[in-house]
Chains A and B, each alone.
Chain A
Amino acid sequence: MNRPHEEISQQISLALDGALSLEEERQLRAHLQECPACATLWEEMRGVSGLFERPPLLAPPPLLAARVMRRIERRERWRAWMRRLAVSLLVLILLAMVLAIPLMGLSTLAVNHPALSQAVFRALVRAAEIAQALWLGLGILARAFLGRGEWLILAVWLVLAVAAGVGWMRLLRRARRIVAR
């Protein structure tokens, strides 16, 4: 009875977990027999413990494990894709570096031989003209078959722009999710 109430309360908690030694248990029992306040506390604490004993277990949703595995598969696919992208970028950079060495030689060649550089420039202009002609031809074809060529081109452009925008947003979101992890 001389022991402070708080200490008994702690002992009761330990007793509920079966964590007292035989001697400690005997002492506690003796104290409970002579202290009605602590005996009441013991009954109440037993009640609290009883509230949680053999608690109801909830069954997980039936597809939970499958959903987890699906997310993991998606994640793995994404990682594999990123790995491939990184490898391709590396290869591209290496290729560019390898190509840059002869190009450096080429630039001095172009300075020394202006006729050569003019020929290259003319070839590029011709290629651009061909591309333009192809594009115009496409427009004429579209107009001929559908009557409203400009609208079709505009629509194709819009679809392409939206697809690019959506793709970019998704890429950003995934990147952010990975960074957050």
Chain B
Amino acid sequence: MVKAQQGDQEAFARLVEAYQVPVYNLAYRMLGVATEAEDATQETFLRVYTRLKTYDPSRKFSSWILSIASHYCVDRLRRRRGAVSMEEVESWRWMADEGLAPEDKALQRERDRSIREVLATLPEPYRLVIILRYWHNLSYEEIAEITDSTESAVKSRLHRARQAVLEGLNHALEGQHPLEERKEEASLAQRGRALLQASLRRPRREPL
């Protein structure tokens, strides 16, 4: 880190290698499109490079990088005009999950599709806290640092985000979704129901 700050490009290349997975996945979940996520990741690291000298070592480095990435993605979403078409991601591009059997790859793709659809319906601030909480496994404090807000704001935003997801799924289940007439949306409703049930059946980590 110190070497990279002094302008050592090899050291910076190692930083890129180390942080590309979290940055890329944040961008992918925020933007919903793999090609845009790649571009956003590149831009994020360019910004990291140019601002490296302003990095305050008292801050956690990963939080600092994720904060730059999330600001960039939010800006990009604001500049985006019109709807983007979702493209399918090839199955080999999913990272190995120790709990996943090879035959579950198709299921994982299906799950990714559902997650993308659910996230796409969420307003950006909600989407961001959900991603930071679940994909990056961060604490309220870290999420607050990345999103320039307070812990209590993060708590309430996560709560509202979960409520919004639940409402969206309920709408889909009840067939009240405005786009329900379209065939794909009916499948969203079915997937939503299946996912909700599947995740309810799964053993919880924090039984109450």
| A interface, CB within 8 angstroms of B | 9-10, 13-19, 25, 28-29, 32, 42-61, 64-65, 67-69, 71-73, 75-76, 181
Rounded to whole Å, the gap between the CB of A9 and the closest CB of chain B is: 7
25 contacts between A and B (CB under 8 A): A13-B158, A16-B206, A17-B133, A17-B158, A32-B208, A44-B166, A45-B166, A47-B200, A48-B169, A49-B199, A50-B200, A51-B118, A51-B199, A52-B130, A52-B134, A53-B134, A56-B112, A57-B97, A58-B24, A58-B93, A60-B38, A68-B42, A69-B16, A72-B45, A73-B9
A156 to B95, CA, bound (A): 56
Chain A neighbourhood of B114, CB < 8 A: 51
CB distance from B28 to the nearest CB of A (A): 5
On chain B, the residues within 8 Å of A61 by CB distance are 38
Question: In whole Å, how far is B17's beta carbon from the nearest beta carbon of chain A?
Answer: 5
Across the interface, B99 reaches (CB within 8 A) one of A16, A54, A57, A72, namely: A54
| Separation of A14 and B42 alpha carbons in the complex (Å) | 35
Residues B159-200 near A (CB distance < 8 A): 159, 162-163, 165-166, 169, 195-200
Tell me which residues across on chain B come within 8 A of A50, comparing CB atoms. Answer: 198-200, 202, 204
Of residues 10 through 35 on chain B, the ones whose CB sits less than 8 Å from some CB of chain A are 12-13, 16-17, 20-21, 24-25, 28, 34
How far does the Cβ of B111 sit from chain A's closest Cβ, in whole Å? 6
Q: Compute how far the CA of A69 lies from the CA of B42 in the bound complex, rounded to whole angstroms.
A: 9
- The listed residue (B42, B166, B208) touching A15 by CB distance below 8 A is B208
Number of interface residues of B (CB under 8 A): 56
Choose from B28, B49, B155, B169 the contact partner of A19 (Cβ within 8 Å).
B155
Contacts of A28 in B (CB 8 A): 208
**B38 and A55 form a contact (CB under 8 A):** no
Q: How far is the CA of A105 from the CA of B130 in the complex (A)?
A: 76
Q: How far is the CB of B105 from chain A (nearest CB, A)?
A: 10
B residues less than 8 Å from A67 (CB atoms): 42
Contacts of A18 in B (CB 8 A): 206
Residues of the B chain whose Cβ atoms lie less than 8 Å from the Cβ of A42: 208
Query: Smallest Cβ distance from B112 to chain A, in angstroms?
Result: 5
B99 to chain A, nearest CB (A): 7
Closest 8 CB pairs of A and B: A50-B199, A13-B159, A52-B134, A60-B24, A47-B196, A57-B95, A68-B45, A65-B16
A34 to B12, CA, bound (A): 57
Complex CA gap A47/B205 in Å reads 13
Is B46 interfacial (CB-CB < 8 Å)? yes
Which A residues lie within 8 Å of B159 (CB)? 9-10, 13-14
A residues in contact with B108, CB < 8 Å: 56
The answer to whether B38 and A64 have CB atoms under 8 Å apart is: yes
Q: In the complex, A140 Cα to B160 Cα: how many Å?
A: 83
Given contact pairs A46-B199, A56-B97, A57-B135, A71 touches B155 in the complex (Cβ within 8 A):
no
Does B50 belong to the interface (CB within 8 Å)? Answer: yes
What residues of B have a CB within 8 angstroms of the CB of A46 in the complex? 199-200, 204
